[in-house]
Amino acid sequence: MLTGAGSDRKVVPMAPRREARATELQIQIDDVYACLGQCAGCVLTPEERKTMSADMSEETLDLAIERLREHAATSGPLKRVNLTFGIADHLLIGVDYMRHIHALGSSVIEAGNPSDRAHSAVFFTTSLVGKPQSVIAMLRETRSRLESDVPFIPLVVLDGRLIKAAKFGPMWREMVLAAKELFGKVDLSTNLSTDAVGCMSPEELATFAARNGFDEVTVNWAPTMRNASGTLGDTAAIAKWLLEFDQLAEKRHSLTTSFRPVIARTIDSIMCGDGHAPSLVNAVEQIVPETIRKSIEIDHLGYLLPKFEAIGDITHADRHGLAPLGNIRDGSIASIIDKAMPRILSKIIGIHAQGACSTCRHSAVCAGTGFHVATHVARRSGRSQVFAEESCPHVAFPVIDRIAAEMMAVEATAERGTLWAAC
C-alpha cells in the first residue's frame, strides 16, 4: 500500500493560523489498490492489493470528476487545489491510464481556478517497484504524453522494512532521481506500524530521504479494523518514534512533518482570546465543517469520505468502522456534505465523550484533527482494552502534549519580552 487513506500533500506549507474559510481544496480519489508492496501499516487488505487493474470503474471515475469540477468551481476563491490519485501503485496500470488521470485531474484544478497555480498539482501514488529501466521508461513516456502544464507529482511510498536492504537502496535512488528530473518533484510517504518503527529509526528515514532526493516526507499512521494489531499493537513505541522524528524535523530545515503543523494550527485556531481552550463541542463546530468542505476523498465505489489530518490523512470509511458522508450518485458534493454534517459532528463529539477522552485536557485539540478515527478503531477492535481506562488509547496525547507545551513556552517567552520592553 502506498499511502494512508490519503496523505497530506501540500506543495507549500500552510499558513500557521487556520482561516475561517480554508483556501486550499484537498481531494483524493481512491482509484487504484494494486500494489506489490506489503507494508504492515497499510490501510488496504492483502486481497485488495492483489488486483492488477484500476478498481474504480470508468463510469464512477467520470461521475467523480464531474462532481469534483462542480465542487471546485463553487468552493472559491481558492488559492490552491491539490488532487491525489491514490491509494496504491498507478504505474502498474500503465501509461495510457496515467495520462488519462492527469487530464481528468487537471480539469478539476482548472475548474477551481486557484490563484496559486504553481502550487496546485495532480499527484499519483506509486511504489517505484520493478526493474529500474522499465520503470524509468514508463515514467518518461508518461511525462512526454501529458496534455496540460498542471504539475503531475509522484508520491512514492516506502515500506520501512526495506530501508536497510542492500540491493534496494541504489535501485530506488536511480528511479527516484529519474522521477524527480522528469516531474520536477517527488514526495515520500511511509506507513507507520509496530514493525516499521522497529526496522527504521527516525534518523534512518531522514537520512534515506535526504540521500535519495525527496522533497517532503509524510508519515502516515492509519489504524483500520484489519490492521489494528500492527498499527495499535505498541503505540508507546510508535509515539516515541513520532516524537523523535518531530525533534529531528525541528532541527533540520530540509525535513518537515505534516502532523506538527496540523496540531499547531488546530491549537492556534481554537484558543480563546483569554488563552483558555474552548469546549470540545465548540472546537468541533468551529473546525470540522470547513475541514470537511475543503478536504474530501472518493473511494472506488463512489463513496464520499471526509478526509481528516492527524498523523497523515485518515477518513471515515468502512475500513475504519465509520460511515461515509454518502455516495456521489446521491447528488452534488455540497448537498451530500450538508446532509451528513450533523451526524458527523455528533459522531466526533461522541467518540471524545467516552473513556479517557472525556476528561482529557487535550480533547478539544484532538477532536479538531482526525485522531478520533484511531480512537474509534482502538475501541471497536478491542485494542484500547490493553490500556488503562484513564490513559489515552494511542499516540495522540504525548504528541499533542509536546507540541502544546512548546507553543506555550514560546508564547510565555514572547510575553516576558513584551513586559520587559514595556518596563
Residues with Cβ within 8 Å of 64's Cβ and at least 6 positions away in sequence, in order, are 29, 56, 298, 302, 328
- Judged by phi (left if over 0) then psi (alpha if -120 to 50, else beta), residue 78 lies in beta
Told to check if 397 binds ligand SF4 by CB under 6 A, we report yes
Among 34-42, 53-61, 250-258, 353-361, the segment contacting ligand SF4 (CB under 6 A): 353-361
Residues with Cβ within 8 Å of 226's Cβ and at least 6 positions away in sequence, in order, are 45, 319
In the bound complex, what is the minimum distance in angstroms from residue 375's beta carbon to ligand SF4? Answer: 5
Evaluate the omega torsion of the peptide bond into residue 77 and state whether it is cis, within 30 degrees of 0: yes
Told to check if 266 binds ligand SF4 by CB under 6 A, we report no
Task: Return the residues of window 313-352 that contact ligand SF4 according to CB under 6 A.
Answer: 352
What CA–CA distance (Å, rounded) separates 117 from 391?
A: 45
CA of 216: how far to CAs of 7, 157, 179, 206, 209, in Å?
12, 12, 14, 10, 8
In the bound complex, what is the minimum distance in angstroms from residue 376's beta carbon to ligand SF4? Answer: 10
Instruction: Identify which of residues 197 and 392 has a Cβ nearer to ligand SF4 in the complex.
Output: 392
Told to check if 176 binds ligand SF4 by CB under 6 A, we report no
Told to check if 360 binds ligand SF4 by CB under 6 A, we report yes
What CA–CA distance (Å, rounded) separates 35 from 51?
A: 8
Q: Tell me if 290 sits within 8 A of 38, measured CB to CB.
A: no
Closest CA to 188 of 136, 132, 128: 128
Residue from 61, 228, 366, 403 touching ligand SF4 (CB under 6 A): that is 366
Told to check if 371 binds ligand SF4 by CB under 6 A, we report yes
Told to check if 267 binds ligand SF4 by CB under 6 A, we report no
Residue from 92, 196, 392, 403 touching ligand SF4 (CB under 6 A): that is 392
Told to check if 396 binds ligand SF4 by CB under 6 A, we report yes
In the bound complex, what is the minimum distance in angstroms from residue 161's beta carbon to ligand SF4? Answer: 27
Closest CA to 354 of 379, 373, 371: 379
Angle at 335 between CA 281 and CA 4, to 5 degrees: 65
Among 38-46, 193-201, 316-324, 363-371, the segment contacting ligand SF4 (CB under 6 A): 363-371
In the bound complex, what is the minimum distance in angstroms from residue 285's beta carbon to ligand SF4? Answer: 17
Residue from 257, 363, 381, 384 touching ligand SF4 (CB under 6 A): that is 363
Q: Tell me if 123 sits within 8 A of 9, measured CB to CB.
A: yes
Instruction: Identify which of residues 83 and 400 has a Cβ nearer to ligand SF4 in the complex.
Output: 400
Instruction: Identify which of residues 76 and 321 has a Cβ nearer to ligand SF4 in the complex.
Output: 321
Told to check if 308 binds ligand SF4 by CB under 6 A, we report no
What CA–CA distance (Å, rounded) separates 423 from 412?
A: 17
In the bound complex, what is the minimum distance in angstroms from residue 357's beta carbon to ligand SF4? Answer: 3
Closest CA to 259 of 343, 189, 160: 189
Cell 487504484, residue located: 32
In the bound complex, what is the minimum distance in angstroms from residue 323's beta carbon to ligand SF4? Answer: 20
Residue type (1 letter), 60: T
Angle at 301 between CA 26 and CA 69, to 5 degrees: 40
Residue from 362, 373, 377, 404 touching ligand SF4 (CB under 6 A): that is 362
Told to check if 357 binds ligand SF4 by CB under 6 A, we report yes
In the bound complex, what is the minimum distance in angstroms from residue 64's beta carbon to ligand SF4? Answer: 32
Give the DSSP H or E segment for 327: strand 326-327
In the bound complex, what is the minimum distance in angstroms from residue 362's beta carbon to ligand SF4? Answer: 5
Instruction: Identify which of residues 64 and 242 has a Cβ nearer to ligand SF4 in the complex.
Output: 242
Instruction: Identify which of residues 158 and 396 has a Cβ nearer to ligand SF4 in the complex.
Output: 396
What CA–CA distance (Å, rounded) separates 261 from 241?
A: 17
Cell of 273: 482570546
Told to check if 376 binds ligand SF4 by CB under 6 A, we report no
Told to check if 90 binds ligand SF4 by CB under 6 A, we report no
What CA–CA distance (Å, rounded) separates 344 from 340?
A: 6
Residue ranges binding ligand SF4 (CB under 6 A): 352, 356-357, 360, 362-363, 366, 371, 375, 392-393, 396-397, 400
